Chains A and B, each alone.
Chain A
Amino acid sequence: MSSEAIANSSARIIAPDRSQHAVRRFVSDSALLTARSLRSIPRVPERLLDVTIQPIIFILLFLYVFGSAIHVPGISYKNYLFPGILGQSLAFGVIGAGVATSNDMTEGVLDRFRSMPISRLSIITGQVMGQFCEALLGLTITVVVGLLLGWEPHLTLAHGIELAALMVLAVFAFTWTGVLFGMLVRSPDAMQGMGFIIILPLTFMAGTFVPIEGLDAVPKAIAHWDPISALVATVRKLTEGYPSHGSWQLDHPEIAMVLWCGLLLAICVPLALRRFNRTLAS
C-alpha cells in the first residue's frame, strides 16, 4: 500500500451520475447481474449436477430398470418415457431456482447490491435470467442424452417451433415460481426439502413414467389436474402424436399449459417482486 497508490485513489472521481438513463441503466445492470449468476453455475458443482446428472439418472433408471416391467399400449416405452423426463426436468427447475434464490437471499452480497445506486428490479431480473439459462442448459442436456439413447421424436418443423416456444414459456414460469418459493422459505435446505415433498411426487403423478389411466383413484385425480401433466401431455402430443385423455387439460394440453404458465406468472411475479421489495424496506 504505497502512499502513491493512496493518492491516486483519492483523486478518483465518483461514479458517473446515472440517474438520467433509468431504462438503459436497468438493462445494463440486469445484464451484469445475469452474467454474475451464469458465471457461478460451473463453480457450484452440486447445482450443475442437479441439472445434468439427475435427469440422466432418471432416464437410465426408468429406461433400463423399471421400463422392463412397464408396457404402454400403442407406443414404445422409450418414446413414451422421454417426453415425461423432459416434463420432470422442467419441473425440477422450480427446485433449482428456489435453492439458488434462497442461497442468495441469505448472502451478504445482496445487501451490498441493495445499498448501491443500482436498479433494484435488476437484482431480481439477474437472478431470474441466470436461473432461466441454467434450466435451459439442463433441458438441452436431457434432450441430447435422450437422442443419444435412441429417442426418436417425430417432429414437424411447425411442431418443433411450437414445442420450443412452449418449453421456453414453461421454463420461465417455473423459474419465477422457484424464485418466489426461494424468497419465502427460510433456508436452501428447507427449499430442497419442500422440493422433495411437493415437487417430486407431483412429477410422478403426471403421466410421466406410467399412464394415468392405471393409477389409483387419488393419484389419478391429482394427475388429471397436475400442471406437470399438461406439460408432459403437450410434449408427448407434439413429439410423438400420442394423445392423453382423462380431463379437459389432458384433452387440450397446449392450451392448458399456456393457461398454467400464465397463471403461475400472474401469481408468482407480483408476489416475488412484492416480497423482494418488502425485504428491502421492512
Chain B
Amino acid sequence: MLSSDAANSNAGAAAIEAEGLTKHFGDFTAVDALDLNVETGTVVSLLGPNGAGKTTMVRMLATLLRPDGGVARIAGHDVVSEAEQVRRVISLTGQFAALDKNLTARENLTLMARLRGHARGAARSIAEELIARFDVEEFRDRLVKDLSGGQRRRVDLAAGLIDRPQLLVLDEPTTGLDPRSRQVVWSTIRELVAEGVTLLLTTQYLEEADALADKVVLIDHGREIAAGTPAQLKAQVGEQRVDVVAPDGAALTRLERVLEESFTTTVAREQRTISIAAPEEVANLAQVTEAIRASGIGVDEIALRRPTLDDAFLALTGHPAQNDDASKESHDEQ
C-alpha cells in the first residue's frame, strides 16, 4: 500500500528511529534522552500526563523544534539535516486544530493540497474526496471558527491525509472532545490503521492508547517509564481495581488496616480512597465487600473500575501522575 511512496524513502528504514532525543527549555528538561522506535505499518502511542514531554517529542520529530541532543530519523531521513525530506513523508496533526479558522473547511483542504504542490483542479478533487471520506459534507462551506471541536478535528485529520503520509503523527487527537466526537475520531483512526498507515499517537488516556495502539510508551518528565503492548502494560498495572471511599479520615485508617491484610492496596489520602487491585474483577469486588461488611466500618462508596493512567503511574513509578505541569507545557509553544 505504501509502495507509491517508496521512491521517497530509504527502503526498509523504520518509520521512526530516535536515540537519546533531548530538549531543554531554559533549566527545564522537557525531553530527557528518549529513545523511540516505530516500525513501518504499526501504531505506537506516547502516553503520559500533561507536561510529560509528549508534544515536545512530537515537535522535534516533525522538524518544528531542533533537538538539543540525540538523533532522530524519519523513514531514514535525519530530522535536522534532512528536514525537507522529513516534511515530505510526515504529516502532523497538532494538539490545537492546525487550520486557518477564517477559511471554510473546503478552502482549508484545497489550500493545503495546493501548498503540497497539486494543481488547482487536482487540489479541488482531493478536497472533495476528503470531504466525502471524513463526513465533512454537512459543514464543508462553514468557516472553521464556527465549527465544533469534533468537526474541526475531522477537518484537521483530513488535512493531514492530503498526500498519503509515510508517517502520520497525531498529537492528542481527542483531548477536549466530547465522548461522541471521540468515538468518531477513533473510528476514523481505526480505518486509517486498517489501511496500513504508520501512526504515532500521543494521548493522556490509557483507554485511548489501549483502543488504538500496537505498542505503548509511557513517559513522564521526558523519560520512558515503561513500554510494551497495551496488554503487557495493563498486566503490570493490574486489570481492574476496586475503589473504596471512606466517610472520614478515621474510617479510612481503620479500613486500610482491615483491607491490607488480604489485598494489595494503594491509598489516596486526600480523596479518602483505598484502591485495590482486582485481577479477578467481580470476585474481588465481592471479597472486598464481604471484608468491609465483616469489619462493620461504614463506607461512602465501593466501585469496580478500569485502570486509569493514574493507576499505571502508581504501579510503575510509585507516585501519581502529576498534572501540575500545565505551565511547563506552555514552554512547548514558544
Contacts and interface: CB of A to CB of B under 8 A. Distances in A.
Interface residues of B, number: 52
Interface in A56-93: none
Interface in A97-117: 106-109, 111-117
Given A43-B143, A112-B112, 5 more contacts: A11-B4, A15-B162, A16-B118, A44-B102, A108-B96
B112 A116 contact: yes
Interface residues of A, number: 40
Contacts, number: 116
B31 interface: no
B87 A111 contact: no
Contacts of B8: 14, 17
A43 B146 CA distance: 12
A117 B101 contact: no
Interface of B: 1, 4-5, 8, 59, 62-66, 84, 87-88, 90-92, 94-103, 107, 111-112, 114-118, 126, 129-130, 132-135, 143, 159, 161-164, 188, 191, 195, 333-334
Contact of B88 (A8, A29, A117): A117
Nearest to B110: A32
Nearest to B145: A43
A contact patch SS: helix
Contact of A111 (B98, B130, B188): B98
B65 A117 contact: no
A13 interface: yes
A39 B115 contact: no
Given A15-B118, A282-B65, A109 B98 contact: yes
B334 A115 contact: no
A134 B96 CA distance: 27
B102 A19 contact: no
A59 B184 CA distance: 54
B132 A5 contact: yes
A6 interface: yes
Contacts of A113: 115
B126 A111 contact: no
A217 interface: no
Nearest to B115: A118
Interface string A8-31: 111111111111000001000100
A111 B96 CA distance: 10
A9 B129 contact: yes
